[in-house]
């Protein structure tokens, strides 16, 4: 009686063996389909490695690795082609350095302030601001650097050109602040409360607890956040493409146009470079370098946290 | 013993003076903390005000219904809007099912072994790969090897891989938030693994997954570099009608206008930025709304 109102009625009947077997088959099939999709992430990594290194090997058949690493001129798009990576590397390092000089002190101060000093109400104001900053597209930051920050810098600094490393670096720093702040805050939040209470019990002030107890205890996480920020700055593309210029110059002068590794890839991609030409392969050589640089930094950051984490349990 | 016991050993006035200084440092730090938030807030406000002042005058019906043009007063974002829309539809159709299925596998099926660990480490690393490197991957694999050309589909595939780690991480969190008692009750009634996942875990995890998917979409809409690398166009006087047609997207259109020397094009860029930011604000608001609803439910 009332078979069809049973809450189990939508499950298949279990009585005969064949349906049980087919049910089991279905379960197994689903498991393998899910496993296959999970493996896609590994396929992606392999795809990145193969597509980068393949073209890079072709590149190094025509250009010697020695020239690539010792020349200080990068002119693959000119009549006289020179393939010294250094102008791109110094430009990338210069912009990243400026960005970190902005982002690390600011981000770290925000993290310490938010977790050790701020009231919940202040937190509720600051956190969304950081989230919004993190969500602004990089092309918008590029517009900001070129049309707003550069003219201001030109007022103060003589010899400041329209395209320069300083403006791009400062704006990139502002973009990275939320990342440093949130990663450092996570590290600081992981410091056990008992440590703070112990310090307060000994008569320490808030400042002393924060700077002499909490920050040292969270140092491994803070260092990791700085390294991840560096990796992000090195891989950032649109701000430098828009505001730092497209002139591969071997210089550390933050006032003149330069070209970072990422900006070079964009410059070539915007042109009509035929597949399999040497110009086409240069972007893969540069991309390979970029990938392994950022990969090494990401791995180092994760290793560093694990290696130097203070254990309190 | 104990010649120097720090402040304890000193006389009361000395202690008081040093205590005042120590307290002052705390107050000083509060000011410093608030000051350090300032650059971010100021940058954000200045940017918003500037974009509105520069761009709002150019936001008219013609701006939405025209293609790009060499004459700034005739230029618009029609191609970019449709390009972004098409690309996002395909991107989400690819990335959401794959991301959710990967999350289900890792949370509900995977054993605690080296292979699972390897997948997890791998996903964490993929999240840190610069977006332009995904562009090079897309250029080589989708555009050349799979012969999709510099098309909407190639862009979507590239973008799907880029946002996959975000969707996987968000979906895993949503699945983990479903109480184990739900699964146990389902198993006790004789349901199989998949029946439990399909009828009990997924419905509960859905709002959380949706939030993650929307945030991933917001990320993809603002992303420029990988699409430039695969060769999305900067000047498109037509609408893509086929997944294999060439296309442009909103951030690339903005990039194109910012890169021009004439200041009229910078106004156009500002107008484009307003449109882009409004889209992102809407998406984020929906995500926040869903997150709030999720929170009240448990």
CATH code of the domain containing A106: 1.10.3720.10
Which residues of chain B have a CB within 8 Å of the CB of A234? 130
Domain count, chain A: 2
Asked whether the beta carbons of B222 and B244 are under 8 A apart, the reply is: no
DSSP three-state, residue A134: helix
pLDDT of residue B14: 85
In a domain, A3, yes or no: no
Please indicate, yes or no, whether residues A54 and A179 belong to a single structural domain of this protein.
no
A191 and A113 in one domain? yes
Report yes or no on A79 lying in a domain. no
What is the reported pTM? 0.90
CB pairs under 8 A between A and B: 249
One domain, residues A215 and A282:
yes
Q: How many CB atoms lie within 10 A of CB A46?
A: 11
Chain B contact for A245 (CB, 8 A cutoff): no
Strand blocks (E) in A181-306:
none
Yes or no, beta carbons of A133 and B44 under 8 Å apart: yes
Across the interface, of A40, A129, A144, the residue whose CB is closest to B37 is: A129
User: Residue A2 has what pLDDT?
Assistant: 43
The reply to whether A27 falls in a domain is yes
The residue assigned the tokens 């860029």 is B269
Inter-chain CB proximity B140 and A298 less than 8 Å: no
* Residue ranges of chain A whose pLDDT lies below 70: 1-18, 312-313
Residues A102 and A199 in one domain: yes
In-domain check, residue A68: no
Residue owning tokens 């100021």 = B42
A76 assigned to some structural domain:
no
- Terminal alpha carbon distance of chain A: 60
| Among A258, A298, A261, residue whose Cα is nearest residue A283 | A261
Do A56 and A104 reside in the same domain of the chain? Answer: no
Q: Rg of the Cα trace of chain A?
A: 27
Nearest CA in chain B to A118: B30
**Chain B residues touching A236 at Cβ < 8 A:** 130
Cβ proximity of B202 and B107 under 8 Å: no
Q: Under a CB-based contact definition with an 8 Å cutoff, are residues B249 and B157 in contact?
A: no
Cβ-defined contact of B43 to A133 (cutoff 8 Å): yes
What count of other Cβ atoms lies within 10 Å of the Cβ of residue B284? 17
> Which of A46, A62, A78 is at the close of a domain?
A62
Query: Residue A268 and residue A280: Cα distance in Å, rounded?
Result: 8
- Report the candidate in A133, A241, A175 with the shortest Cα–Cα distance to residue B277: A133
Among residues 79-98 of chain A, which lie with CB inside 8 Å of chain B?
A: none
**Whole-number pLDDT of residue A56:** 94
User: Which residues of chain A does B106 touch, with a Cβ-Cβ cutoff of 8 Å?
Assistant: 38
Specify if A160 maps to a domain.
yes
Element counts in chain A: helices (H) and strands (E): 14, 0
Contacts of B191 in chain A (CB under 8 A): 11
Same-domain check for residues A278 and A129: yes
* B2 in A contact zone (CB under 8 Å): no
Domain that holds residue A125: 86-308
Domain co-membership, A58 together with A198: no
Number of Cβ atoms within 10 Å of the Cβ of B122: 19
Per-residue pLDDT, A10: 56
Q: How far is B174 from chain A (nearest CA, A)?
A: 17
Q: Do residues A134 and A22 both lie within one domain?
A: no
The pLDDT, as a whole number, for residue B2 is: 44
Q: Do A294 and B128 lie within an 8 Å CB cutoff?
A: yes
Are A55 and A111 in the same domain? no
pLDDT < 50 stretches in chain B: 1-3, 298
Check if A27 contacts B (Cβ < 8 Å).
yes
Q: Which of A233, A232, A215, A212 is nearest to A108 (CA)?
A: A215
Determine whether the interchain pair A143/B228 forms a contact, defined as Cβ–Cβ distance below 8 Å.
Answer: no
CA distance A210 to A189: 12
| A45 and A103 fall within a common domain | no
Which sequence spans correspond to the domains of chain B?
A: 6-58, 62-297
Distance of CA B149 to the CA centre of its chain: 26
Architecture field, domain B62-297? Orthogonal Bundle (1.10)
Q: Look-up: residue for tokens 């893969």?
A: A284
Say whether residue B45 is in contact with chain A using an 8 A CB cutoff: no
Task: Name the residue among B44, B140, B258 with its Cβ closest to that of A143.
Answer: B258
Predicted pLDDT of residue B139? 94
Whether residue A72 is contained in a domain is answered as: no
Distance from C-alpha of A19 to C-alpha of A283, rounded to nearest angstrom: 57
Touching check for A237 and chain B: CB below 8 Å?
yes
The verdict on A178 and A55 lying in the same domain is no
CB within 8 Å: B133 and A54: no
Determine phi and psi for A38, rounding to 5 degrees.
-65, -30
For B246, list phi and psi in degrees, rounded to 5.
Answer: -80, 160
Percent of chain A having pLDDT more than 90?
68
Q: Same domain for A24 and A124?
A: no
């Amino acid at each position: 009686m009332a078979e069809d109102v049973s809450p189990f009625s939508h499950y298949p009947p279990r009585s005969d063996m064949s349906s049980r077997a087919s049910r089991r088959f279905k379960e197994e099939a689903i498991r393998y389909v899910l496993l296959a999709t999970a493996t896609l992430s590994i396929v992606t990594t392999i795809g990145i490695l193969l597509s980068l290194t393949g073209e890079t090997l072709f590149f190094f058949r025509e250009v010697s690795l020695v020239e690539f690493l010792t020349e200080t001129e990068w002119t693959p798009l000119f009549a006289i082609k020179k393939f010294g990576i250094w102008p791109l590397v110094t430009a990338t390092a210069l912009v990243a350095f400026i960005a970190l000089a902005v982002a690390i002190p600011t981000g770290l101060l925000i993290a310490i302030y938010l977790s050790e000093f701020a009231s919940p109400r202040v937190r509720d104001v600051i956190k969304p601001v950081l989230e919004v900053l993190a969500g602004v597209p990089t092309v918008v930051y590029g517009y900001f650097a070129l049309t707003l920050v550069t003219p201001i810098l030109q007022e103060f600094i003589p010899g400041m050109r329209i395209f320069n490393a300083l403006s791009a670096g400062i704006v990139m720093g502002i973009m990275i602040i939320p990342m440093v702040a949130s990663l450092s805050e996570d590290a600081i939040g992981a410091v056990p409360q008992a440590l703070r209470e112990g310090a307060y019990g000994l008569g320490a002030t808030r400042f002393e607890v924060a700077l002499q107890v909490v920050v040292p205890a969270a140092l491994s996480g803070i260092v990791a956040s700085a390294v991840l920020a560096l990796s992000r700055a090195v891989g950032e593309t649109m701000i430098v493409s828009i505001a730092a210029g497209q002139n591969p110059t071997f210089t550390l002068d933050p006032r003149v146009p330069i070209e970072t590794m990422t900006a070079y890839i964009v410059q070539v991609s915007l042109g009509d470079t035929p597949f399999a030409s040497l110009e086409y392969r240069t972007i893969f050589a540069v991309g390979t370098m970029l990938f392994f640089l950022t990969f090494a930094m990401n791995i180092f950051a994760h290793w560093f946290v694990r290696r130097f984490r203070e254990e309190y349990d | 013993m104990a010649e120097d016991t720090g402040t304890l050993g000193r006389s009361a006035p000395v202690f008081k003076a040093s205590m005042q200084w120590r307290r002052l440092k705390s107050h000083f730090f509060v000011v410093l903390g608030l000051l350090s938030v300032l650059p971010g807030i100021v940058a954000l406000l200045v940017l918003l005000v500037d974009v509105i002042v520069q761009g709002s005058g150019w936001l008219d019906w013609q701006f939405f219904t025209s293609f790009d043009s060499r004459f700034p007063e005739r230029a618009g974002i029609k191609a970019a809007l449709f390009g972004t829309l098409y690309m996002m539809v395909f991107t989400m159709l690819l990335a959401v099912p794959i991301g959710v299925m990967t999350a289900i596998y890792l949370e509900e099926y995977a054993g605690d072994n080296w292979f699972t660990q390897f997948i997890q480490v791998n996903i964490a690393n993929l999240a840190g790969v610069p977006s332009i490197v995904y562009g090079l991957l897309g250029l080589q694999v989708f555009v050349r090897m799979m012969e999709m050309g510099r098309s909407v589909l190639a862009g979507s595939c590239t973008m799907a891989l880029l946002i996959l780690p975000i969707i996987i991480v968000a979906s895993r969190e949503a699945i983990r938030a479903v109480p184990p008692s739900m699964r146990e009750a389902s198993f006790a009634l004789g349901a199989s693994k998949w029946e439990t996942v399909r009828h009990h875990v997924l419905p509960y995890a859905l709002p959380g997954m949706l939030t993650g998917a929307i945030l991933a979409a917001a990320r993809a809409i603002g992303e420029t570099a990988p699409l430039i690398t695969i060769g999305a166009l900067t000047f498109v006087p037509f609408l893509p009608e086929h997944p294999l047609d060439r296309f442009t997207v909103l951030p690339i259109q903005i990039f194109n206008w910012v890169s021009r020397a004439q200041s009229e094009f910078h106004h156009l860029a500002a107008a484009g930025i307003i449109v882009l930011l409004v889209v992102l604000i809407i998406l984020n608001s929906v995500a926040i709304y869903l997150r709030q609803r999720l929170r009240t439910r448990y």
